[in-house]
Copies of this chain bind each other. A is one copy, B any other.
Amino acid sequence: MPPLQHVNIAVIGTGGVGSVFVSQLAWLAKTSTATKPSLCYIAMIDKALYNSNYSEIEIDTAIATLESKGTMPPSIPEIIEYLTGAPHRVILVDNTSAGNLAEAYPAFLKRGISIVTPNKKGFSGSYKLWEDIFNSAKAGGTLVFYESSVGAGMPIISTAKELVATGDEITRIEGIFSGTMSYLFNTFAPTSGSSGNWSQIVKKTKELGYTEPDPRDDLNGLDVARKMTILGRLAGLPIESPTAFPVQSLIPKELEGAINGHEFLQKLDQFDDQMKSHKIAAEKEGKVVRFVGSIDVASQKVKVGLEFFDSTHVMATLKGSDNIISFYTKRYGELPLTIRGAGAGGDVTAMGVTGDLLKVIAQLR
């Protein structure tokens, strides 16, 4: 029998994804015969829970204990110092979307702390940070996995990495990378039947909880641009940042100055004609409009924005808030490798994080 792998786990972030991850970790600790994960640090935005002797925090009740007994979180350098002294190999699970934590990944990785995260910021920030992260992991003998940064729990990052690692060449990647955008356009421009005004659909989608608290954070296209940055880099393009290529924002120019999401939503109906014109232009060609991202590797062209598709095209036939991602490669030829399914939601996003955790545990030496 291979020995049980003892690891220390540090979790930062206990929101929608983080709280589900902790419950999956509790399940894993109870059922796994291959690993013994021991939680030694857990923190939310303003509270942290840890023991100076690294004694195990009970996972089942960790979030409740954190909320009731948590103290002021230490600084990032203090967290690194603390984790460096842990008795086993340490894996940091960053379930936040914090930029400052992502910028500290190289410091963690260099000091022997591996990282698992759905946080896009580290991999879609500056190209220098991207290089720092992977060089630091090499230097520190550590691993960094980020499956859920694109397509939640679906095998997108792992597939891109494996295509490249086995010597295939990715020639093109295209897809619908935002669950929110998918839902909005599947509703606004269905392949059959009628729909409502754009502003009404945005409001309803927000009420369903399918948008960010401020829907402009979805509509500005930056979320998709970050995902394209990550996939483009994996395909071999040294993309400088998520603003280094054309990204079409669906925020009307006139509303860019709106003070908050509330004001934005109140005034959005004045600009319904803008989105309607795109929809009608598509219909004139017998097509539907969708919000897509694409990477053409040979021409080094990356773009994010509206495109028209035949109503029988896979891009047009998505349902609900599904994502779809197609990899065109040298080996796959004309017909791409395509993966489709839920690309958002706490359960499936946390599952991608838990899957990464298992991979890191299996590979840590």
Residues of A within 8 A of B (CB): 1-2, 24, 27-28, 31, 138-139, 141, 153-155, 158-159, 162-163, 165-168, 312, 314, 317, 319-320, 322, 331-342, 347-348, 351, 354-355, 358, 362-363, 365
Contact = CB atoms under 8 A, between A and B. Distances in A.
B355 A165 contact: yes
A354 B1 contact: no
A62 to B, nearest CB: 17
Contacts of A334: 320
26 contacts: A2-B138, A2-B365, A24-B166, A28-B166, A153-B331, A155-B162, A162-B351, A165-B358, A166-B355, A312-B312, A314-B317, A332-B341, A332-B342, A333-B342, A335-B342, A336-B341, A337-B340, A337-B342, A338-B340, A338-B341, A339-B339, A339-B340, A340-B340, A362-B362, A363-B363, A365-B365
A148 to B, nearest CB: 11
Contacts of A337: 153-154, 339-342
A27 B164 CA distance: 12
A257 B27 CA distance: 54
Contact of A24 (B2, B167, B319): B167
Say whether chain A's binding surface is mostly helix, strand, loop, or mixed.
mixed
B336 A351 contact: no
Given A1-B139, A317-B312, A362-B363, A168 B351 contact: yes
A144 to B, nearest CB: 13
A24 B166 CA distance: 7
Contacts of A141: 1-2
A348 B138 CA distance: 29
A273 to B, nearest CB: 31
